[in-house]
């Protein structure tokens, strides 16, 4: 057990809220409480930084960039391998911290949040074995070079996973980093910084500054010493970051909101895909930007779908995230709990058919940010619950008459992050998948692929993460004519 983990679990104040130039740095800013969403009680507090702290972190990253960028791909791969090994070695520490800071059921933290995060490190390491950083096209050389200092802003819903999704390709590319994790879930980020330190990454290559979006996030986005900023968060936050970054013309990549469709074609195996669709929408308590929260079903099968969906939701165990039998813990924070309650009320007021769940906490839970798994049916695209990202365990069932109408409904949103298609006729499922305007589509609930590019159309963002495409976001392209 690391000393940092013992400090976190003790629940005392953490003044060392920044890791800059290879060492922990005390911050003089305000102390923010870290609230366990299952109890609504503070389990510690952490100091947050300022624009001056961002200046120090950027200066460290700029100073470290030339030497780190000059390392061979093999040397960078070795660092990634060390970091991954430490994340896996300390997996239980990460899982406990994630469950404590944002309420993930401990089984989900152990089986998804931590191991999937480690996969991003593995993929980035493996890509370095043969990535074409220099390629020839006739006598012209195409050089892919690290973009420079990268500012990374990560969210509270997948705190470690989203960190590694950005940090791993940035390090693989040869970039140096300033990370701002969510101030609502900073504990796993501190543990990750300790793993970076213990892996022996050169000072200044990775820096972390805890803080709020308006203070630290905006300073990072506007900083002239930052070459690129990558944010995963709300649309509002993404817009503010892009606006702050515009005067310095830095690269901006954004992975933002979603309202993903799940199209059940008439020939789908409904007994299989309806329960899977409900559980996929509700994974991580519905707090995933790509969650398929709109289930599109043939009108002739609506009664059957409603029965299967309600039976699945009613069987979900919501409760103490520390208990192994819990499927869904609480929502991650008070603001999200209030948002989910508001949108459930909106759905009721709009006249959607409430199949299960509804307002308030599940029976037997008097405190904590717990929400009832809720399903609405007979939803139309004009309803707010069909258009707005709710970010909780709320599923909308929308009936359709014909496949063309299903595609129209699927695309009738400002978002375009993820999508699902279910059908026995694979040719038809493929054809529908190609017509859905989203950055990623899953056919028949396939296994997760950490190499599959992830990102959005429309207001779901710009750029791609994961695998080779994610690595490419951190590289500049230089052509050298007459090289050969």
Do 450 and 116 touch, CB atoms closer than 8 A?
yes
Residue 45 DSSP SS3: strand
Which structure tokens are listed for 356? Answer: 């299960």
The boundaries of the domain holding residue 196 are 3-256+460-480
One domain for residues 63 and 192: yes
What residues are annotated to the active site?
255, 289
In a domain, 40, yes or no: yes
Q: What is the CATH number of the domain that holds 351?
A: 3.40.309.10
In a domain, 454, yes or no: no
Which structure tokens are listed for 216? Answer: 């630290």
Instruction: Report residue 1's pLDDT band, with 50, 70 and 90 as the boundaries.
Output: confident
DSSP E strands, 39-153: 41-47, 134-137, 140-146, 149-153
In a domain, 224, yes or no: yes
One domain for residues 402 and 267: yes
- Over residues 186-201, the mean pLDDT reads 98
pLDDT in tens, 351-404: 999 999 999 999 999 999 999 999 999 999 999 999 999 999 999 999 999 999
pLDDT in tens, 136-165: 999 999 999 999 999 999 999 999 999 999
- Over residues 90-97, the mean pLDDT reads 98
In a domain, 187, yes or no: yes
Q: How many CB atoms lie within 10 A of CB 41?
A: 12
DSSP one-letter string for 240-288: HHHHHHGGGT-EEEEE-----EEEE-TTS-HHHHHHHHHHHHHGGGG--
Strands 294-298 vs 261-264: parallel, antiparallel or unpaired: parallel
Q: Please tell me whether the overall predicted TM-score, pTM, comes out greater than 0.85 for this model.
A: yes
One domain for residues 228 and 207: yes
Name, in order, each residue with C-beta under 8 angstroms of 447's C-beta and a sequence gap of 6 or more.
none
Do 456 and 439 touch, CB atoms closer than 8 A?
yes
One domain for residues 131 and 236: yes
What stretches of 131-269 show up as alpha helix (H) in DSSP? 159-173, 187-198, 218-222, 235-245
Q: What is the CATH number of the domain that holds 81?
A: 3.40.605.10
Terminus-to-terminus CA distance in the chain, angstroms? 54
pLDDT in tens, 200-213: 999 999 999 999 99
One domain for residues 85 and 119: yes
Rounded-to-integer distance, Cα 47 and Cα 29, Å = 6
One domain for residues 97 and 168: yes
CB-based burial label for 43 (10 Å; 0-12, 13-18, 19+)? middle
One domain for residues 176 and 281: no
Rounded-to-integer distance, Cα 202 and Cα 64, Å = 8
One domain for residues 95 and 145: yes
Q: Does pLDDT of 28 surpass 90?
A: no
The angle that helices 73-89 and 91-102 make with each other, rounded to 10 degrees, is: 70
From the list 133, 90, 95, the residue with the least C-alpha distance to 112 is: 95
What order do you get walking across the sheet with 394-400 strand by strand?
353-356, 374-377, 394-400, 294-298, 261-264, 418-422, 440-443
One domain for residues 157 and 218: yes
In a domain, 455, yes or no: no
What is the Rg, in whole angstroms, of the alpha carbon atoms belonging to the chain?
23
From the list 373, 353, 358, 345, the residue with the least C-alpha distance to 303 is: 353
In a domain, 49, yes or no: yes
- Over residues 267-271, the mean pLDDT reads 98
One domain for residues 142 and 18: yes
One domain for residues 118 and 238: yes
CB-based burial label for 138 (10 Å; 0-12, 13-18, 19+)? exposed
Name, in order, each residue with C-beta under 8 angstroms of 194's C-beta and a sequence gap of 6 or more.
2, 4
Rounded-to-integer distance, Cα 192 and Cα 98, Å = 12
One domain for residues 208 and 342: no
Rounded-to-integer distance, Cα 362 and Cα 373, Å = 8
Specify the number of domains making up the chain.
Answer: 2
pLDDT in tens, 309-365: 999 999 999 999 999 999 999 999 999 999 999 999 999 999 999 999 999 999 999
Task: Report pLDDT for 29.
Answer: 84
């Amino acid at each position: 057990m690391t000393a940092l983990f013992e400090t976190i679990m003790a629940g005392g104040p953490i003044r060392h809220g920044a890791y800059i130039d290879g060492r922990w740095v005390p911050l003089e800013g305000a102390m923010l409480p870290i609230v366990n969403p299952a109890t609504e009680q503070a389990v510690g507090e952490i100091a947050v930084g300022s624009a001056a702290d961002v200046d120090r972190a950027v200066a460290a990253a700029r100073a470290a960039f030339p030497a780190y960028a000059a390392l061979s791909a093999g040397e960078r791969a070795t660092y990634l391998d060390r970091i991954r090994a430490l994340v896996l070695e300390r997996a239980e520490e990460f899982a406990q911290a994630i469950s404590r800071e944002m309420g993930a059921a401990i089984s989900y933290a152990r089986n998804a949040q931590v191991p999937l995060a480690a996969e991003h490190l593995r993929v980035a390491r493996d890509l370095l074995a043969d990535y074409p950083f220099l390629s020839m096209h006739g006598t012209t050389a195409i050089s892919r070079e690290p973009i420079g200092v990268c500012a990374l802003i990560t969210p509270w819903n997948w705190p470690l996973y989203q960190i590694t999704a950005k940090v791993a390709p940035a390090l693989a590319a040869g970039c140096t980093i300033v990370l701002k994790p969510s101030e609502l879930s900073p504990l796993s980020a501190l543990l990750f910084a300790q793993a970076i330190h213990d892996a022996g990454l050169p000072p200044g290559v990775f820096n972390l500054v805890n803080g709020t979006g308006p203070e630290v996030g905006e300073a990072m986005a506007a900083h002239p010493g930052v070459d690129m900023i990558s944010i995963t968060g709300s649309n509002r936050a993404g817009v503010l970051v892009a606006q702050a970054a515009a005067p310095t013309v830095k690269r901006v990549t954004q992975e933002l909101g979603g309202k993903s469709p799940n199209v059940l074609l008439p020939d789908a195996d409904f007994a299989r895909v309806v329960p899977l669709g409900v559980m996929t929408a509700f994974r991580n308590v519905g707090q995933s930007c790509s969650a398929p929260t709109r289930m599109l079903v043939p009108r002739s099968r609506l009664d059957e779908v409603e029965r299967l969906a309600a039976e699945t939701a009613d069987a979900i165990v919501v409760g103490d995230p520390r208990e192994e039998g819990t499927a869904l813990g609480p929502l991650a924070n008070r603001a999200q709990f209030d948002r989910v309650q508001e949108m459930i009320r909106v759905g009721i007021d709009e006249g959607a058919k409430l199949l299960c769940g509804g307002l308030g906490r599940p029976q037997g839970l008097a405190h904590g940010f717990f929400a009832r798994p809720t399903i609405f049916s007979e939803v139309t695209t004009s309803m707010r619950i069909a258009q707005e990202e709710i970010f909780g365990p709320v599923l909308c069932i929308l009936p359709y008459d014909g496949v063309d109408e299903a595609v129209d409904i699927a695309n009738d949103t400002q978002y375009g992050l993820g999508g699902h298609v279910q059908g026995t006729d694979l040719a038809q499922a493929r054809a529908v998948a190609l017509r859905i305007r989203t950055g990623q589509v899953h056919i028949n609930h396939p296994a997760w692929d950490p190499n599959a590019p992830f990102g959005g159309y429309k207001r779901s963002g710009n750029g791609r993460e994961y695998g080779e495409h994610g690595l490419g976001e951190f590289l500049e392209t230089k052509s050298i004519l007459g090289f050969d």
